[in-house]
Amino acid sequence: MRNPESVSISPTETKYLKSGTRISAYFAEKKQLKTPSDTAQHEAKHAVVAILTNTGVESATIIPGPGYLGLTKLSGFNAAAAAADADGHGGTGHDLFIISASGHDVGSARSVARSVISSNRDEAEATASLIEERGIVSGIEIDQTIKEVRSKRGLDEVILFIKE
């Protein structure tokens, strides 16, 4: 059995060991997901803001029902989660009405929602992809998606090619 050589290698680099073994590293291609619909993105933002501001989510769906294209069911009212669509997706009229009718300040709720979303875009994008793929998801699945994204943050998959 040969003595192993220790080598440090960066992605996109090739090194040759004393033994003649070639090691190359490169970033793996990221899987391209179907772009989520506006409705999936809208509902994902409601869900992510709710969870990250400590309100439980029962479910989120893009299966249309009477008077809606998508729906996120929360365990309780959350003004920031209701305002989570503040950066451009449709369907905001009813959400903003509910915020005002509940006595909350729409501007403040939107500010909190924007802050949460801007710091958690990857979480919202992954949640939207999940909702788009499945049509309806539970709050537990959304919470797991958020945790998965956070556990992988800053880590890129690297593939090593070793040839002797």
| Residue 95: band (very low, low, confident or very high) from pLDDT cuts 50, 70, 90 | confident
Q: Is the pLDDT of residue 156 over 60?
A: no
Q: Is the pLDDT of residue 140 over 60?
A: yes
* pLDDT for residue 159: 55
**Model confidence over 2-56: pLDDT tens digits?**
555 566 666 667 777 777 777 776 655 555 456 899 999 999 999 999 999 999 9
The amino acid at residue 124 is A
**Model confidence over 115-132: pLDDT tens digits?**
999 999 999 999 999 999
Q: What angle do CA 150, 155, 112 make, to 5 degrees?
A: 30
* pLDDT for residue 74: 97
* pLDDT for residue 55: 97
Please name the residues in contact with 7: beta carbons below 8 A apart, sequence gap of 6 or more.
15, 17, 23
